[in-house]
Structure 1
């Protein structure tokens, strides 16, 4: 607070960009554009949740319609309301990607290559041509430029649509390949069975596939199993494709569910869909929103970062500006994701919880990314990391992953450098883990891991401060003040001690979870 409030000499620099608040007559830091959109429309979004759920139930009473059919009609209407006539730009990309997926019947690898190339290219195309007008393309279409919907920046939400486009097509290609291979193997299997019978081998030795009831029961409780649900190839239709892409509760920002998971949950209700659990989840969401309001009314670190107003601040104050920026980034993402997940839960769909650990409860860069935007992490692992070799090709796969992550977030060199820095910072942890893992039973093992974890935390903080908070200028000033002044170096030593203590608490929290049978692997 001393680094961002009225008592700080830099306060006049950013005072003008603060907004009028509603708590104790204080101003509010509403300078973050992402959260400002959510904050200014939060009541509208809650009203939309209620309206969508009510309309679905009313339609179900009077019309015999499937969930996916309702999602298709409501989704297209929702798309037009949100983006106006810009929805046709999205539909163009969507249609092209669908057609590229159909090339798999001729050449699977070529189809996958084209899907990825075009998918990534849409990010660059949208960045450069998003403002192009229909009237410039064809004069009589100029009337379409007059209505841009509630959100004119259609390209921002498109990034999540891209993930669903690729998920549908890659799931389709995977299913089609599996069916093709089964058709090729089946005749050989039949011959082998006859030969075995002639040799007197019992048919009981041949494993029987699970029944449909067993398959459904397994998928209800096993998310991984739902990802590979063996749907008929006819279910991968253009109508189901659009229903999935424009499913209203998850359209704006996720959490991301794969097509297979969405289609299964559209036909079968998971055991986790319970009124009591949904109500408790909604109350927790409201608490998070109010907590965020309290922070924004009393801690103006986002405005400080926007104005670069840290001249003369101590290393401790600058580090707190950066640390609380990271906490606000975590919270500003957690809240919308929880609202959209709450919306989906009310509608009978259970997506992944995106933030399963507090941002401050992390000591491993590898594990951090499993807990931060978890549904995106799962998507990345399924469609990029594993196809590129996974742990057998960790460096190259990680480089590809974080390059895609950086480009997906925004077309900026700064974010691409951030992605490469993350990969660079992963190397020490990967190498150190391999070297020290044989000594797990030694009494000093936990404390050596603690030292490595402190180094890890510093690297993660610096990478994220550069990419999302302080930028180059602020990071340079923090490092200069820490290592060129006596007070700064003293702060660095004390901070390392505090982090070391915190790491031991984090270790014990995870041990406590394991004793209760919980293994989140993060």
Structure 2
């Protein structure tokens, strides 16, 4: 599933099936192909120096320079073609028009929206901004609290990097100084001897998946101080953010470690997996039903009000559930087939992985002096099982409470966490990290500009004012002011509020048509009610743009901090949400690290591609329950499942070798048109589905669609369809170009 798009460009040199091809690839002899594979690496290095930069992807010009044009011609729409430039211009005009229209509405109704606006920040108050939209408090606290949050991050990074270097030097000295261990040392490091060092910390059978002599203990002792730092820093920040009730989450983490993780000793793998999943889902249901736990139940009510938490501890606990499941599954895999799985994964990535090949190419001068794990990608480190002795309580808590990824992710696996502790990331280092930081700063400026001039959330959430001029409910600005006053009284500083849970956004109570009037008061209409169908359509599309930009900034910031610490988690939202070919592609990119987690810990254990159509139901139900237990999200999950099953069925039909499909592929224009229309329908389905799940609900979406078809002019309808068509053209171009470049990289690095 993950390499679906790579397969679109076959390794044979026959006619390309990609309908966007401007030319049909000609046949090449096997001799020329072999020559390219043999000599392409030599073209990249002269005198031990790299000529071309392959840090991210091989540019097309470099591929041509390397002689790759002799093997495969380009089979995608060029970015300089008239069609591509026209589609980009149409999308730019569409989004610019939407923003301008909503910005004009915001300025025209400034007095009505003022309850959810605050004084603009410098330099925006000099540039004509009338106020900053603070309706979405998650976004507001994140942007405002970064300066106060940075000192803690800087201190953490300094200590973490120092401990990492100190542990690495001790590891090198220990390994160099230890020759073949004596008989007594072999007995100490084998079998059940792990209990002699940390009897309360090791929960696996150390004889499983390990050899008789294992240096793992030396490495684990070296990183123990680093893990202790992660525990202390994580608990400190979590208590400040979530309050003392966060300790309930810590108790459940310990219960998982001592009760659920050791189940493999008493039951089969299937029984252990069933008990683990049932337990964690049941805990989520109980927490939702009880509204979280309180110390007052145990006669300690004073602890509940020590200070005002910025986010509920249950939000962070949802993130911890994913990490607990990851720890348990990685442990059970290590016990069953640890060393075998490790060697198999390393061998597979050496033969097939482009990311690993690029890392080896960047560090070709130290390839022979480092183990393969040190020059591997995130996926390889996740798939490589760790030694059972490394699954200790200290590593477990350090993994769950790792500060850069604690509150919002990206989500990582336990195997990768330990691997990056021993060998820091080498895929992105030096100036590449700082370029990533400048890109993050660019998106922060975009987000700040958007909330200063386009009050999307304020228009959605500002209630209708009563006759007396007062709002029906407390505005977001008033809530923020009250919260800050409470924090000032308690002596705490406001820190960033971040959460990857999409259900925490402030769109849950929005209706596209009406608001709830107060009793015995004359109510005027809200700004949302005054908008016509075309303006509502613009607002709903910009709502998805705001969500994408907000989560991209949040996830990129914490990934940037992790990169500075030598940890390379997956990139969430690597591209714009409108740049998705189909529904599967969208969910692989929107929360990419969560998708990788689902594939490893849900999709593959449930049968993988053999049971693809059936596994989508439990997967999306768990995603809905994990975000929030809400009927609206359950309905969204069902809609996504139905859409995915239809998409899978259509994909299977068009990927088959039926005579009808083969005949259609012989006509590039027909094949291209089918792909574009299919992508267009998928984008429209995703827009409606996300409005149902994370914006205005099923009733609001149905009403909005009816209003649009009833009130929108024929021209507006055609413009909307044309916009989605242009987005489909661009997304397919991106997919095909990406497939072509990956094919060139397979040739360059002689991969299978």
**For this structure pair, what is the TM-score category when the shorter chain's length is used for normalisation?**
0.7 to 0.9
Partner of 1:342: 560
Question: 2:523 — aligned with what?
Answer: none
Q: 1:494 aligns with which of 719, 727, 733?
A: 719
Q: Deviations over 1:419-438 (max 9, x none)?
A: 11111122332222222334
User: Which residue matches 2:310?
Assistant: 151
Instruction: Go from structure 1 to structure 2 and tell me whether the alpha carbon gap of 1:124 and 1:83 turns closer, same or farther (over 3 Å shift).
Output: same
CA separation in 2, counterparts of 1:162 and 1:218?
27
Contact kept in structure 1, 2:339 and 2:385, CA below 8 Å: no
Residue 504 of structure 1 is matched in structure 2 by 729
CA separation of 1:235 and 1:11: change in aligned 2, threshold 3 A: same
Task: Name which of 664, 672, 675 aligns with 1:446.
Answer: 672
Query: Do the aligned partners of 1:305 and 1:469 also contact (CA within 8 Å) in 2?
Result: no
1:373 to 584, 591, 597: 591
What are the superposed Cα offsets for residues 5-41 of structure 1, whole Å, 9 maximum, x if unpaired?
4467766553422222221342111211321231231
TM-score, scaled to structure 1: 0.86
Q: Is the 8 A contact 2:632 2:698 kept in 1?
A: no
Equivalent runs, 1:297-336 vs 2, <5 Å:
297-307=452-462, 309-336=527-554
Pair 1:380–1:480, CA change in 2 (3 A):
same
Cα separation, 2, equivalents of 1:226 and 1:35: 33
- SS of residue paired to 2:101: coil
Report if aligned partners of 2:571, 2:592 keep a CA contact under 8 Å in 1.
yes
1:168 aligns with 2:320: no
Structure 2 residue 343 is matched with structure 1 residue 239:
no
Q: Would the aligned equivalents of 2:374 and 2:423 in 1 still touch at CA under 8 Å?
A: no
- 2:270 match: 109
Distance in 1 (CA, whole Å) between partners of 2:340 and 2:555 is 39
**Which residue is equivalent to 1:455?**
681
TM-score (normalised: structure 2): 0.61
The separation in 1 between residues aligned to 2:737 and 2:697, in whole angstroms, is 37
2:741 is aligned to 516
Contact 2:338–2:386 under 8 Å retained in 1: no
Per the TM alignment, residue 489 of structure 1 is displaced from its structure 2 partner at its CA by 4.3
Alignment of 1:44 onto 2:148 = yes
Note if contact 1:422-1:463 (Cα within 8 Å) is conserved in structure 2.
yes
Is contact 1:5–1:300 with CA below 8 Å preserved after alignment?
no
For the structure 1 residues 287 and 148, does the alpha-carbon distance in structure 2 shift closer, same or farther, using more than 3 Å as the test? same
Closer/same/farther in 2, CA of residues 230 and 426 from structure 1, 3 Å limit: closer
Corresponding position of 1:17: 116
CA distance in 2, matches of 1:250, 1:19: 30
Alignment of 1:427-442 (within 5 A): 427-437=645-655, 438-439=661-662, 440-442=665-667
CA contact (8 A) 2:327 2:396 kept: yes
- Between the aligned partners of 1:402 and 1:215, the Cα distance in structure 2 is 41
Contact preservation (8 Å) 1:341, 1:350: yes
CA distance in 2, matches of 1:8, 1:484: 28
User: In the aligned structure 2, how far is the partner of 1:494 from the partner of 1:425?
Assistant: 25
Distance, in Å, in 2 between the alignment partners of 1:448 and 1:359 is: 21
Secondary structure of 1:41's aligned partner: helix
512 and 142 in structure 1: CA distance in 2 versus 1, 3 angstrom threshold = same
67, 85, 109: which is aligned to 2:244?
85
C-alpha contact 2:412 2:570 (8 A) present in aligned 1: yes
Does 2:362 correspond to 1:263? no
More helix by share: 1
1:156-235, aligned counterparts within 5 Å? 156-178=315-337, 216-218=371-373, 220-235=375-390
What's the CA shift for 1:310?
2.8
Alignment of 1:286-297 (within 5 A): 286-297=441-452
Q: Which deviates more, 269-278 or 468-477? A: 468-477
Task: Please give the alpha-carbon distance, in whole angstroms, between the structure 1 residues aligned to 2:700 and 2:110.
Answer: 17
- Counterpart residue number, 2:705: 479
Distance in 2 separating the partners of 1:126 and 1:391 = 34
8 Å Cα contact 1:255-1:353 kept in structure 2:
yes
Larger mean Cα displacement after TM superposition, 397-406 or 141-150: 141-150
1:129 pairs with one of 290, 293, 303: 290
Distance 1:472 1:434 in 2: 30
Number of residues of Structure 1 aligned to a counterpart in Structure 2: 488
> Which moves more between the two structures, 68-77 or 396-405?
68-77
**Cα separation, 2, equivalents of 1:304 and 1:104:** 53
Deviation of the 1:405 alpha carbon: 0.8
Give 2:260's aligned residue: 100
Note closer, same or farther for the CA distance 1:479–1:155 as it changes in structure 2 (3 Å cut): same
- Mark the CA change 1:519 to 1:170 in structure 2 (over 3 Å): closer, same or farther: farther
| Contact map agreement 2:132 2:451 (CA 8 A) in 1 | yes
CA distance in 1, matches of 2:566, 2:308: 28
Cα deviations across residues 356-394 of structure 1 (Å, max 9, x unaligned)?
A: 111121231011011111000000111111211222212
C-alpha distance after superposition, 1:274-303 (max 9, x if no partner): 121111111111111111011111111222
Query: Aligned partners of 1:38 and 1:76: how far apart in 2?
Result: 19
For 2:403, the equivalent position in structure 1 comes to 248
SS at match of 1:516: helix
Paired residues of 1:85 and 1:149 also in contact (CA < 8 A): no
Contact 1:305/1:470, CA 8 A, preserved across alignment: no
* Aligned 8 A contact 1:273 1:348 in 2: no
Q: Does 1:360 align with 2:578?
A: yes
Q: Note if contact 1:10-1:311 (Cα within 8 Å) is conserved in structure 2.
A: no
Unaligned 5+ runs, structure 1: 183-212
Pick the structure with greater CA Rg. Answer: 2
Deviations 1:75-99 (A, max 9, x none): 3333334334223201111112222
- Structure-2 residue corresponding to 1:26: 130
Alpha-carbon distance in structure 2 between the residues aligned to 1:10 and 1:394:
49
